[in-house]
Amino acid sequence: MMEHENDELPVVDASRRSFLGRSSVALAAAALTGLSVHAQTKTSIEKGEHDHSLSDPGQENKGLLALNPNSNTPPPTDHGSVAPLWYSFDLVKKRVEEGGWTHEVTERVLPSSRDIAGVNMRLTAGSYREMHWHTADEWAYVLYGKARVTVMQPDGNIFIGDVEEGDLWIFPAGHPHSIQGLGPDGTEFLLVFNQGAFSEDGTMLLSEWIAHTPPEVLTKNTGLDASVFAKAPEAPLYIFPGKVPPALSVDKAEIGGEAVAAHQQYTFKLKSMEPTKSSKGGEVRIVDSKNFPTSKKIAAALVTVKPGGLRELHWHPHASEWQFYIAGKGRMTVFFPVDNARTVDFNANDVGYVPSNAPHYIENTGDTDLVFLETFAADEFLDVSLNQWLRRVPSEMLKAHLNIDKETAMKIPAENLGVI
């Protein structure tokens, strides 16, 4: 991944939107990922913290500094330069429509994340995300409220179901689908796509397709009179208000019941499942193709770290990690060769990125639970525990490398605990 660090940003049109996009990229890179080209040593940083070197008599954005203390003044163990690791949904413009809004964090603003992009969307009660489909798989986690989702398979069978906070859904690429907010206050959710450059603005919309198909072709295809399509919207609907639907059983019966029902399950209750791993430090709930077979290209974990707890030192051997922070405060240090390490802070609504195979941890730095999602463009969740590795090698080998004797090594946890 390190060969991408100095890649130029893609050239975009010189419009106000592109200017804002470039500005937000520059903000993230300068404020939270860029390091001095002059190597800092542990000794020089420690000296600077105890004399006048660290002082800043000029201007400061104290609110931003309070949220990102380790990003601004990293611990002395940080060194060199690591690919961008942080961005926030609070820095990107919302697209507001009647019925809700949406905004996205893609490769454009987090250029190191080339495998995954994220969208945060809100639908009020009754409002629709119009019927559409994508070139990427859509994995979603419900952050608030309730929604009704539909997805049709290529064989014509259709799934329709309701989801609520803590549930997720998967819509495979090319499968037409819809989302509608339910009562009493609609829904808000996170969408994850297995393409870093994916944009929610580039989806295949039913309304646009109809608007750009000759009326005589529509008539020939459907058997309906041309006057029917004269009433179709001229502009894309995208997000628009509607009526709260009837009970799920009514909708299922109305579309044909079991005769047209998909046999695959496209929703999953992640938050309410039994923890995959649990300790006094927190819990990890893992969902991938093993327990949710329909999700073949996106794997994830919902992680809760208690105050003082730690998502243990580990790495992922098969895919880069795209994180979304739901609640609490945390910090993460990522190491990458050669001799590079970077520490960043996270708050609710932030996005984190870790290159494949880069070792890291996530520590709860607040006084409430730290809750976040780890997502991967992969069919299986895999992580390698540092503790487990240290306990599995012969004691003489460990002593030769780290000067840890066998008696001391036996105090290290022998299992992959997830959170400690």
pLDDT digits (tens, 9 = 90+) for 131-175: 999 999 999 999 999 999 999 999 999 999 999 999 999 999 999
For 130, the token pair is 């119009």
Residue 21 above 60 pLDDT? no
Model confidence band, residue 61 (pLDDT cutoffs 50, 70, 90): very high
Mean pLDDT, the chain, whole residue set: 90
Residues 199-222 as b or e (16 or more Cβ within 10 Å = b): ebeebebbbbeeeeeeeeebeeee
pLDDT digits (tens, 9 = 90+) for 30-40: 444 443 334 45
Please give the residue that has the higher pLDDT: either 1 or 145.
Answer: 145
Rounded to an integer, the average pLDDT of 210-236 is: 94
Residue 234 pLDDT? 87
Q: Of 347, 352, 351, 301, whose CA–CA distance to 327 is shortest? A: 347
For 120, the token pair is 């945060």
Residue 14 pLDDT? 38
Residue 9 above 60 pLDDT? no
- Residue 167 pairs in a beta bridge with 269
Residue 44 pLDDT? 59
In the chain, ranges of CATH 2.60.120.10 domains: 115-268, 273-409
* Separation between Cα atoms, residue 287 and residue 275, nearest integer Å: 10
Q: Is 360 annotated as a binding residue?
A: yes
Residue 414 pLDDT? 95
> Is 415 assigned a catalytic role?
no
pTM more than 0.85: yes
Question: Which residue type does 324 have?
Answer: F
Least reliable range by pLDDT among 39-48, 132-141, 222-231, 322-331: 39-48
* Separation between Cα atoms, residue 195 and residue 405, nearest integer Å: 46
Domain 273-409 in CATH 2.60.120.10: yes
Catalytic one of 98, 374, 396, 415: 374
Residue 390 above 60 pLDDT? yes
Model confidence band, residue 83 (pLDDT cutoffs 50, 70, 90): confident
pLDDT digits (tens, 9 = 90+) for 391-406: 999 999 999 999 999 9
Q: Is 316 annotated as a binding residue?
A: yes
The CATH code of domain 115-268 reads 2.60.120.10
Alpha helical stretches, state H, 121-258: 206-211, 215-222, 226-229, 248-254
Strand ranges for 255-391 from DSSP E: 267-269, 277-279, 282-287, 299-305, 310-315, 321-327, 329-336, 340-347, 350-354, 360-364, 370-376, 384-385
* Separation between Cα atoms, residue 64 and residue 75, nearest integer Å: 18
pLDDT digits (tens, 9 = 90+) for 270-322: 999 999 999 999 999 999 999 999 999 999 999 999 999 999 999 999 999 99
In sign, the C-alpha dihedral spanning 176, 248, 97, 17 is negative
The per-residue DSSP string of 93-111 comes to: --EEETTEEEEEE-TTTST
* Separation between Cα atoms, residue 293 and residue 143, nearest integer Å: 22
Residues 157-188 as b or e (16 or more Cβ within 10 Å = b): ebbbbbbeeebbbbbbeebbbbbbbbeeebbb
Residue 1 pLDDT? 39
Residue 55 pLDDT? 82
Q: Is 401 annotated as a binding residue?
A: no
Residue 347 above 70 pLDDT? yes
Contact in structure between 100 and 239 (CB atoms under 8 Å): yes
pLDDT digits (tens, 9 = 90+) for 68-80: 999 888 999 999 9
Residue 81 pLDDT? 85
Q: Is 212 annotated as a binding residue?
A: no
